[in-house]
Every structure is written in structure tokens, then in C-alpha cells.
A and B are shown apart, each in its own frame.
Chain A
């Protein structure tokens, strides 16, 4: 019996996804390049005439996440296309291989491609700026704490969009964002309820110093715990849910 896991099939699947989406990838990266170029020029013009590693992360961060989410949704377009999904689902690739291949494409390859694009466009903006304004010619630097935060943040949020992309057939992005908002509001309400139930005797709702300190403390403590919980449980859980969705998918 053929193995359900093969590295070769994963590589072939990544190659297939990238080839099939070549047009969308080129268009997306071209748009991102245009926006980044203008943003870097504005940064050079209004800032200290240089692009620091922090500037790079600040300028490209939002675009990186936004285009990453769009790419994650586009990679599952074939699954929801009624005229294409027969051929997609009958390709001899196991669901585990598909999930891994999609993650490699939409996270690792995308991050590398976007970073290289950002460096090239940033450097072009510096050269352009040095020719036409007071900008000093320098090499762009990208690796800062903000850059790694941006990559880590996308690592956390991407699985949610991965699941949304495979779960919903129509208005996928809207439904995913709405679901995310509902979950967020639910957790917020739940936290508030628990916090209120446990602390109402301590006058922490009076707006006094104690209340804000308590909130700050709770926020600080919870953010680290929550982040780890998200990383260890929710992220893989979303991939697992996506895996089962792929197994159960009928067309």
C-alpha cells in the first residue's frame, strides 16, 4: 500500500499550487510592490531620509498580513470551484500532505518572497530617493524585533484564515472575519463576566487606581499565557479542523 505521507508529493503539491496560482501571485506581488514603493518613498521624504529596520517592519507589516490572508484564501479557490474541485479532490495527495503543502506555500514561501520583495523595493526606493532628493544612499536593513513580531503574529493568525478558507464556500473572507469577531467578542464577554464575578467585592469597577492596575496586570499576564495557548492549542487546532474538513469534503 502506498504511504499516506511523502515528502516528494508535498514538494510536488507546493509546485502545483504555485504554478496554478502564478497569475494571482504575480498580480498580488505587483500591487504590493507598488504600494510598498510609495510607502517607502513617503517614509524617506517625511522621516530621517533613511529606512531603518523598524521603518521596514512598520511600513510592510500591514501589507504582509493582508496579502498573506488574501493568498491563503486564493489557494483554496480550487476546492470551492464546482467545475474544478473534482480534479483537485481526486488528485492522489493525502489530506495531511495537502495541509502541510498549503502551509509551506502560504506561510514559509510567502514570507520569504514578501521579504525579498520588500528588500528589493525598499532598496529601489532608497536609490530613487538618493537621485531626486536628499536621501543618503544606504543599504536597507530588515531584521528587527518588529520584523520578527510581524512574522510571529502572522504565524498565529494565519491558521484561522486557513480554516476559514477551506470551511466557507462563499464570502469566505467576510465570514471568517465575522466568525473571528464573534469569537473575540465572546471571549471578551466571558472574561469580563468571570472577572466581574470573581472581583466585584473588591471595588475594582469604581474607576480607582486599583482597577486600572488590576486590568494592566491581568492583561500583561494573560497576554503571554494567551499567546502560548493560542500557539500551542488554537493554531494547530485550526489546522486539524481544516484537515478534517478536507477529509469530509464532498462535491
Chain B
């Protein structure tokens, strides 16, 4: 559905951001895109929405080169950027002037989400806080019903109740037809929402697996028994949390933060374990 083939990207006079990246995103999933600051999460989002063009390689969205920004392609893509400003219109006017360009836009869904986010449709956007503007844009993005929804740090600027509200809403709008990619460095905000993890590190994809595969092969927690060689990564902290090869242990909850640190520490070890298909067949 969305494929990045041998993608290379660098900024003029800047460091290389992507070096021969090949990756694909499939409908029906909510992807969590993680990486350290400056690893290119936002850049990848911009490439996938056609705002930046790869220096070589291709980004194809629904069999079309997104960098051509054709109408048919853009009608299926919506991006919620990390930093943005909306035109100072009333929410209703904002919806009227922008929704007409998206054929699958649902007005009812938009105003339901606006109400759910405790906003009034008659409010003027210029009087809203950044977090509230973000809610308007998230609601609009969801209501466009595009096949690809890209969200760059969507929880930045949202208060604590709004973050859980966001997770609830996102879980309710995910379906088999839609691919949602959420980029963040606040991994805890996406806990229980995403079902696939992509981690960027050193200009490449360091990790690209579904959470079901992760929980099938890896075990997260404080090891109390078992051979020490099954430990892949251990936090050098008081809690002593570790990532272990699951083997015959009970399934554990995936600790995204621990997984992220483990991948950055030794991605080869993690990837080698996940290539093993024993549990995929056994479970």
C-alpha cells in the first residue's frame, strides 16, 4: 500500500537523513514510528505526504509516486504536522472551505469528534490554545477518511485527559481500510494503541515488526529465573528491567520504552531473535 524503495534523503548542506531505506506500510495497522531526535521521523512523514521529495528511490502511496502530488493521491493522504497554525476562521467555516476537497469527508464524524474534544463548532480557531487547535486538526484529519493518516507527535500539546481521549478515538477509527502512522518520541502515549513498531536509527530502519511478533518472541520484565544468555538487553537501572528471549515464559506486556532502548543498544540481537519463527508457528 505505501512502499518506500531504496529511499535516500539528505538536506542541502546537511547530514544524510535516510540511506537506502526500504519499508512498507499496510492498511489495517496503526504504526508507531520511533526514533531519537533528529533521526528523521518528521522528514519521513513529510516524504510520505509529498511535502519533501526523496533524493533517490521512490515513495509510492497507493501505486502512485507521492512526490507528484496528484489529486487522486492527495485525496487519500492527510498529515497532522507537529507544528502548525490554522487559519483564524470559525471551526464551521474551516470545515466548509477545506472539507470539499476530500471526497470521503464526513461532516457528522467531524462535529461528533469536535464535541467529544469538548469544543464548540462556533468557536473561532484564533482564540483556541495550541492543544485545542491540534484537536481540531486531528478531528478534521480523522473525518477526511483518507486511507493514509499521518500524525507527527499528535499528543504534544495535549493535556493528560486529552491524551487518553486521543487514544480512545484513534482506536475507534482504526479499520481494515486505513493505515495510520503515528510518529512520536513519547512512547508511553501510544501504549495500547499501536500494533506495529518502526524504529529509525542512524539513517536506516533499525526495527520493523508487529507487536504480536514482538510479544511472541520477546519477554519484558525483571528476570528471576532462566539462563542469563537469554537476556538481550538489561536496563542499567534500579528496577533492573530486561528484554529476554521469551522461550517458554508466559506472554508479557510489551514495554515500548524498553524495546526502543534495546533496539538502539543492539538492534542486531533483537532482529536476529525476531527472525526466528518458532513461536509464530507454535503460538
A interface residues with partner B (beta carbon < 8 Å): 1-4, 6, 9, 12, 15-16, 19-20, 23, 78, 81, 83-84, 86-87, 89-95, 247, 250-251
- Residues of chain A lying within 8 A (CB to CB) of residue B278: none
18 further A-B contacts with Cβ under 8 Å, apart from A81-B85, A84-B84, are A1-B72, A3-B71, A4-B71, A9-B101, A12-B100, A19-B89, A23-B88, A83-B85, A86-B79, A86-B84, A89-B50, A91-B101, A92-B74, A92-B75, A92-B102, A93-B101, A94-B70, A251-B46
Q: Does B81 contact A (CB under 8 A)?
A: yes
A3 to chain B, nearest CB (A): 7
- Residues of chain B lying within 8 A (CB to CB) of residue A20: 87, 89, 97
Q: Does B175 contact A (CB under 8 A)?
A: no
* B96 to A, closest residue via Cβ: A19
- A–B Cβ pairs within 8 angstroms, 16 of them: A1-B72, A2-B70, A3-B71, A4-B71, A16-B98, A78-B87, A84-B85, A84-B86, A86-B46, A86-B51, A87-B84, A91-B98, A92-B74, A92-B101, A250-B52, A251-B51
B157 to chain A, nearest CB (A): 13
Cross-chain contact B51 with A250 (CB below 8 angstroms)? yes
Cross-chain contact A90 with B51 (CB below 8 angstroms)? yes
Question: In the complex, what distance in Å separates the CA atom of A92 from the CA atom of B145?
Answer: 14
How many pairs of residues, A versus B, come closer than 8 Å at their CB atoms? 78
Question: In the complex, what distance in Å separates the CA atom of A138 from the CA atom of B46?
Answer: 60
Cross-chain contact A93 with B79 (CB below 8 angstroms)? no
Which of B52, B72, B102 lies in contact with A251, CB distance below 8 A? B52
Cross-chain contact B97 with A16 (CB below 8 angstroms)? yes
The interface size of chain B toward A, counting residues with CB under 8 Å, comes to 30
B168 to chain A, nearest CB (A): 25
Question: In the complex, what distance in Å separates the CA atom of A3 from the CA atom of B72?
Answer: 8
B102 to chain A, nearest CB (A): 7
Cross-chain contact B70 with A86 (CB below 8 angstroms)? no
* B49 to A, closest residue via Cβ: A90
Which of A6, A83, A94 lies in contact with B84, CB distance below 8 A? A83
* Residue with the greatest number of chain A CB neighbours at <10 A, chosen from B46, B86, B87: B87
- Residues of chain B lying within 8 A (CB to CB) of residue A87: 81, 84, 86, 98
* A249 to B, closest residue via Cβ: B51
Which of B70, B86, B93 lies in contact with A19, CB distance below 8 A? B93
Interface residues of B in 30-89 (CB under 8 A from A): 46, 49-53, 69-72, 74-75, 77-79, 81, 83-89
- Residues of chain A lying within 8 A (CB to CB) of residue B72: 1-2, 92
* A83 to B, closest residue via Cβ: B85
* B102 to A, closest residue via Cβ: A92
B97 to chain A, nearest CB (A): 4
* A82 to B, closest residue via Cβ: B83
Cross-chain contact A93 with B84 (CB below 8 angstroms)? no
Question: In the complex, what distance in Å separates the CA atom of A23 from the CA atom of B52?
Answer: 31
Cross-chain contact A84 with B98 (CB below 8 angstroms)? no
Q: Mark B237-248 against chain A: 1 for CB-CB distance below 8 A, else 0.
A: 000000000000
Cross-chain contact B84 with A90 (CB below 8 angstroms)? no
Question: In the complex, what distance in Å separates the CA atom of A6 from the CA atom of B50?
Answer: 21
B200 to chain A, nearest CB (A): 20
* B88 to A, closest residue via Cβ: A23
- Residues of chain A lying within 8 A (CB to CB) of residue B85: 81, 83-84
6 closest cross-chain pairs (CB), A and B? A2-B72, A83-B85, A92-B74, A16-B97, A92-B75, A86-B81
Question: In the complex, what distance in Å separates the CA atom of A93 from the CA atom of B50?
Answer: 13
* A2 to B, closest residue via Cβ: B72
B57 to chain A, nearest CB (A): 16
* B51 to A, closest residue via Cβ: A251
- Residues of chain A lying within 8 A (CB to CB) of residue B100: 12
A226 to chain B, nearest CB (A): 37
A4 to chain B, nearest CB (A): 6
